Amino acid sequence: MKTSNKLKIFNDPIYGFIRIPNALIFDLIADPYFQRLRRISQMGLSYLVYPGAHHTRFHHALGCMYLMQKSIQVLRFKGVEITEIEEEGLLCAILLHDIGHGPFSHAMEHSIVEGVSHEFISLQFMRDLNERFNGSLTEAISIFTGNHSKKFLNQLVSSQLDMDRLDYLKRDSFYTGVAEGNTNAERLITMLNVVDGNLVVEEKGIYSVEKFLMARRFMYWQVYLHKTAVVAERLLISILKRARFLIEKGDTLNTSKALDYFLTHHIDINNFDNETLAKFAKLDDVDILAALKEWQYSDDFVLASLCEMIINRKLLHIKVKKEPITESKFLMHLNKVKTQYNLTDEDASYFVFKGELKNKAYDRQHQTINILRKNGKITDVAKLSDHLNLNALSKTVTKYYMCYPKERV
């Protein structure tokens, strides 16, 4: 067998050098399915608010793999048994956990395909790769789906304190410049342990967990749910909805073949087959941006206006309130736009709409972050913490918003 000159190291701006541990991981990274993640932005349209936020899902997946390597080292050092097969399964599962994201990440979820989550599509990609890689991903799929007998393996991939969250908070805060989101991921990892098959954090790591949860809250309000990013995301969803409506009406729109397929077919969880997966794999941010650039010159007033708003960053105005928006306020803005541009109720609803923003930094109902105390007892971090805000962080905070044109559409 000839020796290969395969690249063994990536240089990451957050962690420095990231080592590729074996040939399987290298071949997965080299696969077109994974390379597509270079063309999927991690934070959707957030760069319209934070100009540096142009990093991709590709960066994030490699960062998660790096943190997983660190976690495996730490846990083995503490006597937790992780076999070589389980190690490879963990690294493959975390590397591929976001492979099912569509263009602009969360903005397009449920828009291009109806009611199909990125986790479901990630699993379809993993199953397809598993066939091509002769069953090498069977362990990874077992871990990813939560079917592995060792619960903590799945918790490292998907939980309240998983490698995914540790990487995206650190990475997104770095690229946006929002310092409050920065967490000491490596310190948290050194505090991990396993008790009765579940992932726990040793008591001395409690302040690091508190900081992590606070950072998550800051990042949601300041970055992920930033009002300007919310408007841009809603506009993008409306553009696809309008494009689909026009195509169904018989209009012709210039699009890439991949995007055209999803605009002309109603894809849901029941008909998402291998052919759909192959088409989805050809879809990325480039298809959407090219469509927006083209459609801003459309004869349809609604589609052209919405596209121009994103391309030139002349977005709708957004008001965020603690109380629900009154119907009278909403109708006042809707009627104003209808009259000004001679639009129907339906057409005007693309420019005037309302919604809710929800944020829960710590979802105790879903799964708790457990602290291993010095006396050997396991306690939920919210009960043990002397930080008054931690209980508040496990409550859902809801804000209400309304979007409408500034003076001109």
User: pLDDT tens digit string along 332-357?
Assistant: 999 999 999 999 999 999 999 999 99
Mean pLDDT of the 195-219 span: 92
Calculate Rg over the CA atoms of the chain: 23
Using a cut of 0.85, tell me whether the model's pTM lies above it. yes
Residue 307 Ramachandran class (φ > 0 left, ψ -120 to 50 alpha, else beta): alpha
pLDDT number for residue 361: 78
**Architecture label for domain 1-316:** Orthogonal Bundle (1.10)
pLDDT number for residue 409: 45
pLDDT number for residue 157: 97
Dist. CA 382–CA 348, nearest whole Å: 46
- For the chain, what percent of residues have pLDDT higher than 90? 82
| Mode of pairing for the β-strands spanning 198-202 and 370-372 | parallel
* CB proximity list for 60: less than 8 A, separation 6 or greater: 42, 98, 167, 168, 171
| Residue that has been written with the tokens 């997946």 in this structure | 61
| Residue that has been written with the tokens 């690294």 in this structure | 91
Report the helix count and the strand count for the chain, using DSSP H and E: 19, 9
Q: What is the mean pLDDT of the chain?
A: 92
Q: Which amino acid is at 248?
A: E
User: pLDDT tens digit string along 252-286?
Assistant: 999 999 999 999 999 999 999 999 999 999 999 99
User: pLDDT tens digit string along 218-236?
Assistant: 999 999 999 999 999 999 9
